[in-house]
Structure 1
Amino acid sequence: MAEPSTRRMGFFTDTTVCIGCKACEVACKEWNDVPDDGFVFRATSYDNTGALGADTWRHVAFIETGDRWLMSSDVCKHCTNAACLDVCPTGALFRTEFDTVVVQADVCNGCGYCVPACPYGVIDRRERDGRAFKCTMCYDRQLGGLEPACAKACPTQSIQFGPLDELRVRAQERVERLHAEGNTDARLYGDSPDDGVGGAGAFFLLQDEPEAYGLPPDPVVTTKDLPQMWRWAGGAALAMTGAVAACFLRRR
């Protein structure tokens, strides 16, 4: 068995070769023992699971446009600057040695702070017990030198796993090849370290604007103003303490 890498690992999802088979969804549920869901007939799409959530860590979206189908296997982005980590009060969320972001279910207290903190709307709480769940990038498999279950099961290599720096080079070459073939709509999403979350550990090759896939065009770390807010709060607390002390001294 291969030794696990300590380089930053990630996902590159090439939506141009996704066939919508949902093998990744099934493999994720099987390996991670994620509860079943998606049995509600929506009558608006062939997509039975609907969206990422506590019980859907990989979600294959079926997007019907005027002249084509767009299919994409969405997942947690494992952000470089992860707001969910900033707001978690128990340490249930932590960054692994592979630079991925994982929730420890046995430490989560169900406070839900991470849910609105995620700029992609990935994290969700399970109705059964209120705890938060999301993709772990198969942390246990990585520790054993194995690739995540979704990438292993993907029959078209739409989901690719490996060192993030290598995936970025591979993705850029793929975009250039598609452009040369006339697919000028092809673009990368989440690959740039200069974006609002410092780059994603799971990035995508799209064939349309991010909004078509339900992705925010300009994601921003929701806690970016947190240090300044704490300074303001600290200053306000000191001012309040001083005012109370002054009133007490005057009354004496």
Structure 2
Amino acid sequence: MTDIAPHRYGFFTDTSVCIGCKACEVACKEWNELPDDGFVFEANSYDNTGALGASTWRHVAFIEQSRPVELPSADEGIERWLMSSDVCKHCTHAACLDVCPTGALFRTEFGTVVIQEDICNGCGYCVSACPYGVIDRREGDGRAWKCTMCYDRQRGGLEPACAKACPTDSIQFGPLDELRERAEERVERLHADGHTEARLYGESPDDGVGGAGAFFLLLDEPEVYGLPPDPVVTTRDLPSMWRWAGAAALSLAGAVAVAFAGSRRGARR
């Protein structure tokens, strides 16, 4: 695969060392001056943001995995906690880019996908096109927002705020090819240590979106983390659809022309 940028950069998020501190969420909000989410407390979780959205570009999920016990109390029924800092995937084949009618979305020189808020008209096409449900429109604003991978910081030679703030290096930033090699080595070490459930998600250029610019090491199935198991670029069938639509339009035009010619001949008689 040829990179979509000469020097493509991305995120590798190793969920096996995430401690759920939410430093990435806070750093992201502070740097990007994002509004708060209302501090809604989820009664069944320590998660106070709920999901990625227009004002939450990094979201730390808390997933409790339980084991069956009789009359569990406190944390007796909890087998383990899975924690994962989710973010926009910055897809290689990005459907959001395909459907944007204003050019508000563009591919940067780092291979990331950024929305220009001053050009966005709030149509919402990118929201429905995203296979991960990442992009969202802000209430009271109407425009679409998502992670920029701190494009402004990258242009200044700095790493994104979330990676800078992560105390365990769960979020790693750098050249995508180097991150993939590092991630494969990490999985091999975990397997050698007996964690055979460890797997990578979004790293393969052969997946349905051509590989993600932000990929993950997971300790369970993607669905457990709220991720689609087999994501596909939602605009993959657009070229064939346009070809079929064009052929249908030509056929219809031909039929109309034949009918019109026939009616003229009938009129002459």
TM-score, normalised to structure 2, is 0.90
CA deviation after TM superposition for structure 1 residue 6, in Å: 5.3
| Residue among 200, 220, 231 paired with 1:208 | 220
Q: SS in structure 1 opposite 2:248?
A: helix
Query: Aligned pair 1:26/2:26, yes or no?
Result: yes
- Opposite residue 97 of structure 1, the aligned amino acid is E
Q: Which moves more between the two structures, 176-185 or 63-72?
A: 176-185
Q: Which structure has the larger Rg over C-alpha atoms? A: 2
CA deviation after TM superposition for structure 1 residue 235, in Å: 1.2
1:28-71 per-residue CA deviation (whole Å, 9 max, x = no partner) reads: 11111111104122212110000001110000000011110000
Structure 2 unaligned segments of length 5 or more: list them.
67-78, 265-269
CA deviation after TM superposition for structure 1 residue 239, in Å: 1.8
1:195-251 per-residue CA deviation (whole Å, 9 max, x = no partner) reads: 111110000000111010000111111111010000011111222222233333333
Q: Which moves more between the two structures, 206-215 or 236-245?
A: 236-245
Q: SS in structure 1 opposite 2:244?
A: helix
Question: 1:151–1:159: 8 Å Cα contact kept in structure 2?
Answer: yes
In 1, Cα distance between the equivalents of 2:34 and 2:19?
23
Structure 1 unaligned segments of length 5 or more: list them.
none
Q: Which residue of 2 aligns with 1:88?
A: 100
In 2, Cα distance between the equivalents of 1:130 and 1:232?
34
In 2, Cα distance between the equivalents of 1:20 and 1:109?
35
Q: SS in structure 2 opposite 1:90?
A: coil
| Residue among 187, 191, 204 paired with 1:175 | 187
- Opposite residue 234 of structure 2, the aligned amino acid is T
Q: Which residue of 2 aligns with 1:193?
A: 205
In 1, Cα distance between the equivalents of 2:103 and 2:247?
27
Question: 1:18–1:72: 8 Å Cα contact kept in structure 2?
Answer: yes
Q: Which residue of 1 aligns with 2:42?
A: 42
Once the two structures are aligned, what percentage of the paired residues are identical? 83
Question: 1:28–1:58: 8 Å Cα contact kept in structure 2?
Answer: yes
Question: 1:38–1:50: 8 Å Cα contact kept in structure 2?
Answer: no
- Opposite residue 241 of structure 1, the aligned amino acid is A
| Residue among 251, 259, 268 paired with 1:247 | 259
Query: Aligned pair 1:134/2:146, yes or no?
Result: yes
In 2, Cα distance between the equivalents of 1:166 and 1:81?
20
Q: Give structure 1 regions of 4+ aligned residues with deviation exceeding 4 angstroms.
A: none
In 2, Cα distance between the equivalents of 1:15 and 1:154?
12
Q: CA distance change for structure 1 residues 225 and 141 in 2, over 3 Å: closer, same or farther?
A: same
In 2, Cα distance between the equivalents of 1:38 and 1:167?
35
In 1, Cα distance between the equivalents of 2:142 and 2:195?
44
- Opposite residue 166 of structure 2, the aligned amino acid is C
Q: SS in structure 1 opposite 2:124?
A: coil
- Opposite residue 41 of structure 2, the aligned amino acid is F
Query: Aligned pair 1:70/2:94, yes or no?
Result: no
Trace 1:97-246 onto structure 2 (pairs within 5 A).
Answer: 97-246=109-258
In 2, Cα distance between the equivalents of 1:53 and 1:37?
9
Q: Which moves more between the two structures, 124-133 or 56-65?
A: 124-133
- Opposite residue 211 of structure 2, the aligned amino acid is G
Query: Aligned pair 1:7/2:7, yes or no?
Result: yes
Q: Which residue of 1 aligns with 2:75?
A: none
* Number of residue pairs aligned between Structure 1 and Structure 2: 248
